[in-house]
Amino acid sequence: MKEKFVPDIVVKRLPWYLQTLNQMAREGLHTVSSIALADRVGTSGAQIRKDLSYFGEFGKQGTGYSIYFLIEQLQKILKVDRIWRVSVVGAGNLGRALTRYQGFANRGIDICLLFDNDPGLVGIRVNSLIVRHVDSMADDIQDMKVKMAILTLPSEAAQATADVLVGAGIQAILNYTPAALMLPKHIQVEHIDPVLQLQRMMYYLGEE
Amino acid sequence: MKEKFVPDIVVKRLPWYLQTLNQMAREGLHTVSSIALADRVGTSGAQIRKDLSYFGEFGKQGTGYSIYFLIEQLQKILKVDRIWRVSVVGAGNLGRALTRYQGFANRGIDICLLFDNDPGLVGIRVNSLIVRHVDSMADDIQDMKVKMAILTLPSEAAQATADVLVGAGIQAILNYTPAALMLPKHIQVEHIDPVLQLQRMMYYLGEE
């Protein structure tokens, strides 16, 4: 299914399609045209048809896509059809909030490790997890074959921690710190910074 | 400065340029070529030159950009050169973590209101704010002329709350819930969902 090179910008849109299709399925819909799907996602029908064409033929001219079939295919493509173990590094407010986040469980994500270096946090319980000390991080991640990590620690510690994570086998990092990480090319990094998103919107705010 | 129509995809990249330039300034750099800036941001020099050309002539052939000058210009373009008041709606773990987030203060963002409907949360102090009841939300937002809001409440309440916010004058919403909001075209919405970003990266993870 993955013979062709798929641009990252296409891969980025697939989770949106999947989420929107899941929403449509919950609403009781069974089929959808590329245009109707595009309207919800905020793109064009042509874009959706082109993006999906990288992976095969999923729709029929005139009848559109079967929502369930497309969900199944997208889950396979994105490898969301299994559970991925994820480690949270940093057990401050944000790290604890994410560990408790209800939205992970049924979407392929199992937060299974939570680390901090603060003696006041190590040992406390967050949901079903006990905060572990970062000293055991590399070993724990290797033992549990964890491939993804979420960084919710102070920026100053981000690069050194990311280096340890990559050394322990982490292949993908969701970075909640403002730090720009320098990592090997094959490591996936996504950045979540509410400031950048707020700043993007400021551009459009009315003066007064 | 804003005669030309600027595609949203360009506006989206500007906060990244600004953040990277600020980082370079902190490192003591004074000038930067479009290629060196592009390397840090993860794009191409041509992309950066094209994006900036929407707003004017900021660099000189051969000498590159003055970092300070470009920071100043980008701050003006994005209207980050002033303080924007922002309301957080939802004082659960995530809402409290965001209200306490250190990264807002010196980047144009003042979290000035925090709401919830839970009697157990209304009245508690988070940083310098007291959690207010959502019943007074519309009035408080109008009184304080707040234009941006961050939604950190349960998905089920997201649409109804967003409608109230827009009615009270909110023009931009940063949505941390998985809910897709249906709002008038002129309202800016950005979505933060860690699941989508994790799913994008799953595509690249090695099988084993």
Q: Do A172 and B205 touch (CB under 8 A)?
A: yes
Q: Which DSSP state fits B42?
A: T
Q: Which residues contact A9 (CB under 8 A, 6 or more apart)?
A: none
Q: What is the mean pLDDT of chain A?
A: 90
pLDDT at B206: 77
Q: Which of residues 90-119 of B touch A (CB under 8 A)?
A: 92-94, 96-98, 100-101, 103-104, 107-109
pLDDT at A207: 62
Residue B1 has pLDDT above 60, yes or no: no
Percent of chain B with pLDDT over 70: 97
Residue B207 has pLDDT above 80, yes or no: no
Per the CB < 8 A criterion, the answer to whether A37 and A65 are in contact is yes
Per the CB < 8 A criterion, the answer to whether B94 and A97 are in contact is yes
Best mutation target, B1, B6, B177, B201, to test chain A (most A CBs within 10 A)? B201
pLDDT at B41: 81
Per the CB < 8 A criterion, the answer to whether A174 and A190 are in contact is yes
Residue B208 has pLDDT above 90, yes or no: no
Give A-chain residues touching B92 at CB under 8 angstroms. 97
Measured CA to CA, the distance from residue A174 to residue A162 in angstroms comes to 10
Question: Smallest Cα–Cα separation from B58: which of B29, B18, B92, B89?
Answer: B18
pLDDT interval class at B93 (50, 70, 90): confident
Question: Smallest Cα–Cα separation from A193: which of B142, B137, B190?
Answer: B190
**Measured between CB atoms, does B187 come within 8 Å of chain A?**
no
**Measured between CB atoms, does B49 come within 8 Å of chain A?**
no
Q: Which helix (H) or strand (E) holds B158?
A: helix B158-167
Q: Which residues contact A165 (CB under 8 A, 6 or more apart)?
A: A87, A89, A137, A138, A141, A149, A173
Helix (H, G, I), strand (E, B) or coil at A21: helix
Q: How far is B143 from chain A (nearest CA, A)?
A: 15
pLDDT at B3: 54
Give B-chain residues touching A104 at CB under 8 angstroms. 194-195
pLDDT at B101: 85
**A8-78 has which CATH code?**
1.10.10.10
Chain B residue with minimum CA distance to A182: B40
pLDDT interval class at A3 (50, 70, 90): low
Q: Do B84 and A202 touch (CB under 8 A)?
A: yes
pLDDT interval class at B134 (50, 70, 90): very high
Q: How far is B104 from chain A (nearest CA, A)?
A: 7
Give A-chain residues touching B109 at CB under 8 angstroms. 195, 198
Chain A residue with minimum CA distance to B8: A200
pLDDT at A169: 96
Residue B6 has pLDDT above 90, yes or no: no
Structure tokens of A60?
Answer: 């029929």
pLDDT at B170: 97
Query: Maximum distance among all alpha carbons in chain A?
Result: 62
Q: Do A205 and B147 touch (CB under 8 A)?
A: yes
Residue B191 has pLDDT above 90, yes or no: no
pLDDT at B108: 85
pLDDT at A59: 75
pTM of the model: 0.80
pLDDT digits 0-9 by tens, B31-65? 999 999 988 887 788 989 999 999 988 877 777 89
pLDDT at B43: 79
Structure tokens of B130?
Answer: 């007291």
Among A58-62, B1-5, B16-20, the minimum mean pLDDT is found in B1-5
Residue B175 has pLDDT above 70, yes or no: yes
Pick from B11, B14, B199: CB nearest A108: B199
Q: Do B202 and A86 touch (CB under 8 A)?
A: no
Percent of chain B with pLDDT over 90: 62
The pLDDT of B137-160, averaged and rounded, is: 95
pLDDT at B69: 94
Query: Yes or no: is domain A84-196 CATH 3.40.50.720?
Result: yes
Pick from B15, B97, B178: CB nearest A196: B15
pLDDT at A87: 98
Best mutation target, A77, A197, A208, to test chain B (most B CBs within 10 A)? A197
pLDDT digits 0-9 by tens, A122-178? 999 999 999 999 999 999 999 999 999 999 998 899 999 999 999 999 999 999 987
HEC sequence for A41-67: HCCCHHHHHHHHHCCCCCEECCCEEEH
Indicate the domain borders of chain A.
8-78, 84-196
Q: What is the mean pLDDT of chain B?
A: 90
pLDDT at A103: 80
Q: Under CATH, which architecture does the B84-195 domain have?
A: 3-Layer(aba) Sandwich (3.40)
Residue A107 has pLDDT above 70, yes or no: yes
